[in-house]
Structure 1
Amino acid sequence: MPRVDMANLHLPVAPPLDPVWLAFEAQHGFNDPKPPISVLERQPQYAAEERAKTQRMIAPGARGHHLGQGIKTSIFTVPSSLDAFPIPILLFAHEDPSTDLEDVGACTTIIYIHGGGLKVGEADSEELSCRRIIKESGLPGVVLYSIGYRLMPTYPASTCVQDCHDATSHILSLPSATGGKVVLIGSSSGGELAPLIAPSFHPHITGLILRCPVTSDAYTSYPRYIPERFRPYHTSAAHPSFQNCLLRTLTREEPRDGLPQMPLEMSKEKLQKMPGRVWVQVCTNDGLYSDGVCMAKALEEDGGKEVMVDVVWGWPHTFWLKAWELDKALECERKMVKAVRWVAGE
């Protein structure tokens, strides 16, 4: 019995936003006019905001205080195969003063690729999610590697892909990934990069998690780059009801950001080289909703994978990154942690 029921997952228009979210966005002025800022100016600002949020959420008395306890971090670099650029990788593991994190042996390795439209974000930008996986997954000997790939517009999208490929190749060669389970996680645009690199590492990656993934170029080129069979179901990029303060449109200077293809266009052969279990989390009030749903169906139908879809009804794109204080954000994070166990076969 298929898990991805397109008849029930198809949304011609977005539902109303949840009142709790509407109150939160009004309280924080998400829809207030903002001064124009370039992407290059925004990059360090975004990184600083995310670091400040992490410290606020793990401070004493905060709900995430336990996420700051008993976890050791380490950063190292891997040379790019393109130009020897040092790609930063942030490692999270349970604290053990007697263990060198780079040499730690593990039964479960998580590789995390952050979001940000390929234009913002660093290896620590989704640190709270990374910490929660280490702290709450209960997986044996779990370690997590978050990749700090280079960003557009300084570098092309192809460099983002290659950096993630090179970093993943190195991670899979480490003792922490030898003989154990490996889970690849992609968030938003990280959910574009993860499927693009995953087939290269078949069969070494056990499971795949995609959270509000970018899988097509529906915004700038609809319907040209949407496989014909998915066009009746791919509604979210075209209908204005899916737009809101967290994601209005995805603008591209060139189709597919210059990449040869997007994940939704992958061949059956490549889809069959994806990990055996895939969990896709989508938000109904998100222009990328259809990207996630259609990708889930492609993985199930053409890839022959075991796929589960989690639909977050009435909430916008990756809202948990902006509203960590809300109970719904915690619920989504805990579903993700549970899914990590499922795709790892636990």
Structure 2
Amino acid sequence: MNVILAAGGTGGHMVPAHALAAELKARGYGVGLVTDARGAKIPGLFEDVPVHVLPAGRTGGGPLSWLKAVGSVIAGRREAKKLYRSFRLDVVVGFGGYPAFPSLLAASSLKVPTILHEQNAVLGRVNRLLAGEAEAIATAYDQVDRLKPAYAKKTVLVGNPVREEVARLGEAPLPPFDDYAPLKILITGGSQGATILGQVVPEGLGLLGPSLRHRLQIVQQCRPDDIDQVRARYAELGIPAELMTYITDMPDKIADAHLVIARAGASTIAELTAAGRPAILVPLPIATDDHQTANAREMAKAGGARMIPQPEFTPEALARQIEALAQDPQALANAAARSLSVGRPNAARDLADLVERIGGGLSPIPVGLAARTAPETVTNGVPA
């Protein structure tokens, strides 16, 4: 079987596509990626998979921008059709984002079956446009806003695929933590970084009591424009911190962490829950359809995360949350277990099973898959 994965150029789209690619290749299938220039440059992904960069338009900015976007989509669709005709293609899997749009349009025009994977708890714009034509819609959450009830019969809950190294972390306990051990905190803003984390987190850590502050070990991802200022502030506070603009060894960093402070991107939450790591989540307030707040609700409801809206994310609020978790070692362990309870570490396997079924011309929801599906709960965010 030959499969094309079509994914937008951010880590949120690319990481789950990468995880699926690894699973499909392990099963002996041919896999290719279609993305944009941004996606092709993300380090550590798709190094052994053919990558095709195609034109893709993004709307916004007025009529001229719309015209350019339409032109790019037409060009991308034309190039994708040419690519697909060059070999026997069985199925295209779209992971959202504007770069996936022309690739999926091309597949539909050639009668190649398509699968949409939605990483977020709100169906994205591109996936909403293409949902009617898709053979199946794979979701990461059992409650997905803006997914029409009419699509319930072809909706399958699989989770959000994570790298195998991350999926295995949930098999091991949280690193030991007691009244004397270092408190290891990982801070990440996702593939794009987050200036607010660089502004608030060092100040919040500086407010912790001396007995806890002196035990901190920090790993933080920063935006390139912020890293020098953040490094200087940690030095002033006397807090040891390892800073970087992109974390290439994320599985190792998650494995070593007792607590993660992060945005609520879909891949971030999937990795934290698969690994069983407690978190303080700060959803991006300008995310489309406020999808990061929706992403965080399952983990927060389970008790695996504390969610702080960005307007309320102050150094004082952060310090209070960290102290509440760290003052009792059992509190961190409990939060880790609750995080793990909503993880779906087998998402790559389950999505690959779905790809096999669609590629083989079978129904998207076979008998026996009921435990992994919940189409009746995916009704515009209101459980049935």
**TM-score > 0.5, shorter chain as reference:** no
Whichever structure has more helix as a proportion of its residues is 2
Question: Larger C-alpha radius of gyration, 1 or 2?
Answer: 2
